[in-house]
Amino acid sequence: MSRSLPAAVLVLCLGLWLAASYGVRYGLMEDGRWVELCALPAAYWQCEVRSLLGLGIHYQVMAWSGLGLALLAQVIGGRRGWWLALLGLVFAVPALVLYTASIATFALVLAGLRLVRDAGATRPL
């Protein structure tokens, strides 16, 4: 197996996750027909998802989660830190798309730096 194959798969999956995030933004959050459909309470389950997602966006839950995981990944070494950074990216990418770009940018950069950091390097105290 090629050494660059896992990196290519990771970039492909992140690209698909970015496309899905844009789909949620423009298909569910900014589409005007959902305002009309969601006028009746509990008419569609999508209205409940839209409402909860709106609250999460308002309180910046995804952005702060991504930033917290990315910061935690910086101090935890080895594979666990790498997986935490990947999970931080999973939260940071939709936060970047869904209106909380200021915090999500830091989370994205920190998580990306942790993903490319050499796992074999020793950290000075």
Q: Which long-range contacts (CB under 8 A, 24 or more apart) does 18-24 make?
A: 18/93, 18/97, 21/93, 21/94, 21/96, 21/97, 21/98, 22/97, 24/53, 24/94, 24/97, 24/98
Q: Has residue 122 been placed in a domain?
A: no
Tokens of 44: 């569609």
Tokens of 7: 């990196």
Tell me how many domains the chain contains. Answer: 1
Label residue 60 left, alpha or beta by phi (over 0 means left) and psi (-120 to 50 means alpha): left
| Arithmetic mean of pLDDT, 89-110 | 93
Q: Has residue 125 been placed in a domain?
A: no
Q: How many Cβ atoms from other residues are within 10 Å of residue 34's Cβ?
A: 16
Q: Has residue 17 been placed in a domain?
A: yes
Q: Has residue 123 been placed in a domain?
A: no
Q: Has residue 121 been placed in a domain?
A: no
Q: Has residue 14 been placed in a domain?
A: yes
pLDDT digits (tens, 9 = 90+) for 46-74: 888 888 998 999 999 999 999 999 999 99
Q: Has residue 65 been placed in a domain?
A: yes
Q: Has residue 72 been placed in a domain?
A: yes
- Is the pLDDT score of 119 beyond 60? no
